[in-house]
Structure 1
């Protein structure tokens, strides 16, 4: 089985690195200094679960160099999904499986706008990780996990083939009973802590410890729940309580990747998070004042970062 990783940041670098380190055939499609570092020194993963160095089958920035894939993991940022998907045609076989793993609620839909539905499986991941230096990935919190499932909720043989790859790689993974619920639950968490974290420059623990900020976190999550429910996602009535409990159990000093991107002046997934909820709320005639406030406050910084890039 040949796995192709599109993007080798904190997500693609860690999970792709684990698959490669287990002896499986892995190709990384990556650019710039990261590409050269992996080619010359291998991919180094510094992890709280144990460090390792792996030398992938191929690391390249040219899609035409890549062998046909059995599994493709799209690990770019949310706003890059369509562009990344559009380049995949040369490496697709009839039964190639494509799974987007980045944060966001509509990534599978973005992939479906480019590829036939027979290729697409929904997915998400849970991990605290980042690029520490070119060719070096740092995993610093949370037990890494990939959750995946068919968009029509069916249990299929191809899901078992994917699970075999992940099981051999040695990281936690599970087949979802309803991938839409799992995606929106993760989205509720990451959007709730990312925007407010960027606005306050506070860690997750600091925000939760503040009675006032905790109330804003809950209001953000409640609006996301209302939008998801209106879109037909079968969210549990206790979803918001569950997310608040989950937030309370995060490492006190933890921050989200989008928060770090905004704070460090890089383009972020703001439009795909709070901005997405604002736009979906307008379509569905649902008021989202908390998300609108957070998005409006951060949008000038986002525009500045994108102009510079």
Structure 2
């Protein structure tokens, strides 16, 4: 099975390396120092589920150098979505499927503007990972589960067989992915916004009464927005979120919080910013998410892109 990983960061790097470890023919699309390090010394995965180095690595900065594949896993940061989607054509053959594992709720729509036919399949994962340095991805937490649409699709079934041979991945195909995408959006917007704004791992946030109130407020605002948008959370959702957050090691932060610490661009516009936007559109108050969006907007483009203030 030929697989192209569009993006080789915390999610794409980890998943692609695990699939290659299990015997998949995996090519990465990456850039900059991370690409150079992968080509020179391989891709190092640091994980509690087993660390290893994938070498040699097949990788390029352009899809045209890879050619048609059976499956594209789209895992670029949300702010790179349009450019990456516009460059995807060389990877697409008649039977290619494109699975998006991006955050937020807009990825399928963005990709569908660039990929003809019914090839785009939504997916979600709560995998926590980040690039620690060029050529090295750190994964934190337990066994990552990938939820995807396309149940009974032959390409997804082949991916299922490959994942069944991996050590550190679990794939669950579903008939309808929309509910999962919205549930992840609500969960992740709160987790990303809370850990980023409070500059803390999830453990101390849950242990501190005031911090817990704030992250739970973000969760509840997201639930209200989702319900107003026609995607109400299923019964027991707050308890499921509590279990998921509590299962992480205390130091675990969102990828957005890690990017913020490193001065990289952050996805706040598509998470708390999207909640803020939807809240205004639907008449739902989102004071917590609006505060996160406005407070972090200054850092949205990353440290190197900030415009200096004139004296």
Q: Calculate the TM-score normalised by the size of structure 2.
A: 0.91
> Over aligned residue pairs, what C-alpha RMSD do you find?
2.0
How many residues matched? 306
Per-residue deviation at 1:57?
6.2
The residue that corresponds to 2:240 in the other structure is: 242
In structure 2, distance between residues paired with 1:92 and 1:145: 26
SS in 2 for 1:142: coil
**Match for residue 192 of structure 1 among 190, 200, 206:** 190
**176-185 or 96-105, which moves further after superposition?**
176-185
Contact 2:23 2:162 in 1 (8 A): no
1:238-277 map, 5 Å: 238-277=236-275
Contact 1:28 1:56 in 2 (8 A): no
Poorly superposed stretches of 4+, deviation over 3 Å: 154-158, 303-306
SS in 2 for 1:224: helix
Per-residue deviation at 1:155?
4.4
SS in 2 for 1:45: strand
In structure 2, distance between residues paired with 1:252 and 1:140: 10
**267-276 or 198-207, which moves further after superposition?**
198-207
The residue that corresponds to 2:54 in the other structure is: 54
| Residues 304 and 71 of structure 1: CA distance in aligned 2, closer, same or farther (over 3 Å) | closer
Per-residue deviation at 1:88?
1.0
Contact 1:126 1:143 in 2 (8 A): no
Per-residue deviation at 1:228?
1.6
Per-residue deviation at 1:117?
4.5
Per-residue deviation at 1:303?
5.2
Contact 2:144 2:170 in 1 (8 A): yes
Q: Calculate the TM-score normalised by the size of structure 1.
A: 0.91
The residue that corresponds to 2:100 in the other structure is: 100
**73-82 or 107-116, which moves further after superposition?**
107-116
Contact 2:266 2:301 in 1 (8 A): no
1:156 aligned onto 2:161: no
Per-residue deviation at 1:211?
1.6
Structure 1, unaligned runs of 5 or more: none
SS in 1 for 2:234: coil
1:214-233 map, 5 Å: 214-233=212-231
Contact 1:20 1:55 in 2 (8 A): no
